[in-house]
Amino acid sequence: MTSSSIANFSIITLISFLTLFLVCVSSNPGVFNVKYRYPRLQGSLSALKEHDDKRQLTILAGIDLPLGGTGRPDILGLYYAKIGIGTPAKSYYVQVDTGSDIMWVNCIQCRQCPKRSNLGVSIDSPLSIVISGGPLSGCKANMSCPYLEIYGDGSSTAGYFVKDVVQYDSVAGDLKTKTANGSVIFGCGARQSGDLDSSNEEALDGILGFGKANSSMISQLASSGRVKKIFAHCLDGRNGGGIFAIGRVVQPKVNMTPLVPNQPHYNVNMTAVQVGQEFLDIPADLFQPGDRKGAIIDSGTTLAYLPEIIYEPLVKKITSQEPSLKVHIVDKDYKCFQYSGKVDEGFPNVTFHFENSVFLRVYPHDYLFPYEGMWCIGWQNSGMQSRDRRNMTLLGDLVLSNKLVLYDLENQLIGWTEYNCSSSIKVKDEGTGTVHLVGSHFISFAFPLDTSLLLLLLLLLITLFLL
């Protein structure tokens, strides 16, 4: 190939690449996309615990929600979605939270609301809407209905309840969606403080609650008959991305365990803990349901927290598999060690058993993560937490990744199964009875880009190639 043909080939390749890039960044990825966001560690493991400490204090027709993620085990995470509000719809990025119920977004009259974010999303278009009352307890029609939400970490949001149209993607066929909408009552944020204000570099437009209460968005859509009160998520911990869907999952089959009644969160009855082939000797009353009993399933928590009476023998059995290990305490809370072999061959699986013979198996590559040339144990001792959280059993993404987790609020059940989260599931259309495939997704960041600048860059690069 001659030098001129190489140059022509390079220019054509460059043009093709930039053309594809322009198409990608200008396309609309859907009005209800979900992303899994991981801010990277800043040279310290303390960020993991700080995230979970705050998280524990805040725990209070099918729809396809595309899910993204990095699959990194040693960095933090939360879900956020791109939703459409109003007619015509404007896009907003909101944190998806299974530990809270109210949906709220920043409004145009908001004080101390963030205007930019380093997550690569545009959050500089606060909601402009006429404030009015709605069918909520204590609210009267044609009068403003205020709300105040104070989170355990000191952050707060205050504003007024409003009612407007929210857009989402409805399953329309195998791996196909169509735009649907429903009227939802949500908070119009007028004042934010703490981690929700303009000082937070990883801020979003608001929060989308997926909790159990009737005020949550899924409960409101279900009460109008638009969806069933069932949803599922599957986070791909290896490759990033995954699945988030609202509707009845018919494949894969998922074994279910009852939710503990009269609890605000997703509490389940745990019956035993197994390390390798051995069951831990644990007092039976530890697993009795009640205040701070049972286990909380929470996708918004990064690690997993166990009562001291479980944590101590569990970690001892793990580290005793390799007698030559020298365990170091890192950042006060993490037990770490050097190990050159394959962790799945050198250490045991940990299995949690629940009511209805349901179990959740956690592999060494899930509960061990690399850090500065060592392997660190992700299990945490909740007996060392503050009084309100002491001896809590809280199972977060450390045990939930690479599993399809199904929340059936219609029947007050929750379940999970190991699954390839980069594949697809089958969801039933309750209206027609048909079953459709819902695939995994990875949504790109929505960086605001100037197309004219990209074209100028294209011309500049072509000129350089011609020289």
* Residue 396 Cα to chain centre, angstroms: 10
- Rounded CA gap, 238 and 407, in Å? 23
| DSSP one-letter string for 418-453 | E--TTSEEEEE-TTT--EEEEE-B-PPP-----HHH
Convert the pLDDT of each residue in 42-89 to its tens digit.
456 666 666 566 555 444 345 655 444 444 433 444 556 778 899 888
**How confident is the model at residue 159, as a pLDDT?**
87
**How confident is the model at residue 227, as a pLDDT?**
84
Mean pLDDT for 341-356 is 96
**How confident is the model at residue 132, as a pLDDT?**
42
Mean pLDDT for 120-146 is 56
**How confident is the model at residue 327, as a pLDDT?**
94
- Rounded CA gap, 368 and 378, in Å? 6
Averaged pLDDT of the chain:
74
Q: Which residue has the higher pLDDT, 319 or 225?
A: 319
Mean pLDDT for 124-148 is 59
Convert the pLDDT of each residue in 292-309 to its tens digit.
567 989 876 778 999 999
Q: Are strands 206-209 and 90-97 parallel, antiparallel or unpaired?
A: parallel
Contacts of 458 (CB under 8 A, 6+ apart): 14, 15, 18
Mean pLDDT for 6-26 is 34
Q: If you search the block for the tokens 């979003």, which residue do you land on?
A: 204
For the annotated catalytic residues, the residue numbers are 97, 298
Indicate if the pLDDT at residue 424 is higher than 80.
yes
pLDDT band at 114 (very low <50, low <70, confident <90, very high): low
Q: Which residue has the higher pLDDT, 219 or 128?
A: 219
C-alpha neighbours within 13 Å on the C-beta side of residue 283: 7
**How confident is the model at residue 190, as a pLDDT?**
86
Residue length of the chain: 467
pLDDT band at 14 (very low <50, low <70, confident <90, very high): very low
**How confident is the model at residue 376, as a pLDDT?**
94
Nearest to 360 by CA among 236, 232, 267, 270: 270
Convert the pLDDT of each residue in 257-268 to its tens digit.
999 988 888 999
- Rounded CA gap, 175 and 440, in Å? 9
Say if residues 167 and 31 touch (Cβ distance below 8 Å): yes
Mean pLDDT for 421-450 is 72
Say if residues 371 and 330 touch (Cβ distance below 8 Å): yes
**Lowest-confidence pick of 7-21, 205-219, 250-264:** 7-21
Convert the pLDDT of each residue in 224-279 to its tens digit.
888 889 999 887 777 666 787 888 899 999 999 999 988 888 999 999 999 999 99
Give the C-alpha distances (Å, rounded to integers) separating 384 from 117, 216, 307, 388, 393: 34, 33, 9, 11, 12
Q: Which residue has the higher pLDDT, 196 or 220?
A: 220
Nearest to 205 by CA among 123, 283, 147: 123
